């Protein structure tokens, strides 16, 4: 074949390759993961790190498609283990440990969430402003409504600390969020125990006073690590390690934002919770950590051990193995 033929072929190849390279370069964009990561939550500030990550674009920065799935607090674990979602927001230790005992090595907690005496008011007993109840001892013979069952085990332990028999000396009843305020206002109950943002919302609607705010840090341990910051499953981690790492990175950014931007954090909370803009500055925000340290593990384990001692859990379990990757 002639030199002209080979010369023409060479030019053709160079042109094709060049078009391929520049065409790809021009159209290239970072590819966001096609898998939609589903995160179960219920409308409380316990899910704040997830709300912030979604609102501020930290999930997108990690190339994650995220869908926040609202469920009832009692359905969080069931929704997770049945594969309907990939992660959940915070779930209190009695539920997490109770499930771990019955079904070992399925749940995988990450991060921690809690409250402290030096931090914001996260929970408390609300009574009418003119109530004669001013301290825990005044609750003897009284009826207390809880807006979810998570607070009842802690309240039982606290009442035992002051010498009450929580099954005889007080009436502790689980009552829905929508009716506890009216139950208090009508006198059907003597007090309600609730967490943020409901604590601030009810206190704004009814003339109330708070009795024993953050009771768990006063009578049990300080800080009181209420729960992991969130949960996934061991199976999901085994199959999606890179995604888990990206979610954790996004949440670390959230925690830094919460710490450094308290005003904007509360404003964002109004979009995801029943909190309204006129009372945002009154709302307390939980304390979060992305990675527990040795002292945190000791504190969390003491909480679980106390739940066993109070016969709220039949037996305990080690939390460090649950966190181990």
Q: With 50 as the cut, is the pLDDT of residue 5 above it?
A: no
Q: How far apart are CA 305 and CA 19, in angstroms?
A: 67
Query: If pLDDT is split at 50, 70 and 90, which confidence band does 6 have?
Result: very low
Percent of the chain with pLDDT over 70: 89
Contacts of 152 (CB under 8 A, 6+ apart): 146, 172, 174
User: Which CATH number does the domain 36-117+224-323 belong to among 3.40.50.1820, 3.40.190.10, 2.60.40.420, 3.20.20.70?
Assistant: 3.40.190.10
**Every domain of the chain and the residues it spans:** 36-117+224-323, 123-213
Query: If pLDDT is split at 50, 70 and 90, which confidence band does 323 have?
Result: very high
pTM of the predicted protein model? 0.82
Query: If pLDDT is split at 50, 70 and 90, which confidence band does 26 have?
Result: very low
CATH of domain 123-213: 3.40.190.10
Q: How far apart are CA 211 and CA 200, in angstroms?
A: 14
pLDDT on residue 8: 47
Q: With 50 as the cut, is the pLDDT of residue 109 above it?
A: yes
Percent of the chain with pLDDT over 90: 66
Contacts of 312 (CB under 8 A, 6+ apart): 94, 153, 156, 157
Q: How far apart are CA 169 and CA 174, in angstroms?
A: 17
Query: If pLDDT is split at 50, 70 and 90, which confidence band does 25 have?
Result: very low
pLDDT on residue 2: 52
Q: Do domains 36-117+224-323 and 123-213 have the same CATH topology?
A: yes
Mean per-residue pLDDT over the chain, rounded: 88
């Amino acid at each position: 074949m002639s030199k002209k033929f080979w010369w023409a072929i060479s030019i053709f190849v160079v042109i094709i390759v060049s078009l391929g390279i520049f065409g790809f370069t021009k159209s290239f964009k970072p590819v966001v993961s096609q898998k939609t990561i589903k995160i179960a939550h219920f409308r409380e500030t316990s899910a704040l790190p997830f709300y912030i990550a979604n609102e501020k674009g930290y999930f997108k920065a990690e190339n994650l498609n995220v869908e926040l799935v609202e469920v009832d607090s009692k359905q969080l674990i069931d929704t997770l283990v049945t594969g309907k979602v990939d992660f959940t927001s915070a779930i209190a230790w009695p539920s997490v440990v109770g499930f771990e005992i019955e079904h070992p090595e399925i749940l995988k907690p990450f991060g921690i969430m809690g409250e402290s005496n030096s931090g914001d008011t996260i929970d408390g007993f609300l009574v009418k402003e003119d109530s004669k109840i001013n301290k825990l001892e005044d609750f003897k013979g009284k009826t207390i409504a809880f807006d979810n069952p998570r607070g009842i085990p802690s309240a039982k332990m606290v009442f035992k600390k002051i010498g009450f028999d929580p099954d005889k000396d007080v009436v502790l009843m689980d009552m829905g969020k929508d009716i506890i305020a009216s139950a208090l206002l009508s006198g059907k109950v003597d007090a309600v125990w609730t967490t943020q943002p409901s604590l601030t919302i009810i206190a704004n609607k009814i003339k109330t006073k708070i009795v024993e705010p953050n009771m768990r840090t006063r009578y049990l341990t300080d800080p009181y690590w209420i729960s992991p910051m969130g949960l996934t499953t061991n199976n999901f981690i085994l199959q999606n390690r890179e995604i888990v790492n990206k979610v954790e990175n996004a949440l670390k950014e959230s925690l830094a934002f919460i710490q450094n931007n308290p005003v904007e954090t509360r404003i964002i909370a109004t979009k995801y919770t029943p909190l309204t803009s006129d009372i945002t500055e009154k709302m307390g925000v939980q304390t979060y950590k992305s990675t527990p340290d040795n002292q945190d593990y000791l504190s969390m384990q003491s909480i679980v051990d106390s739940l066993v001692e109070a016969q709220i859990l039949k037996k305990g379990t080690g939390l460090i193995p649950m966190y181990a990757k």
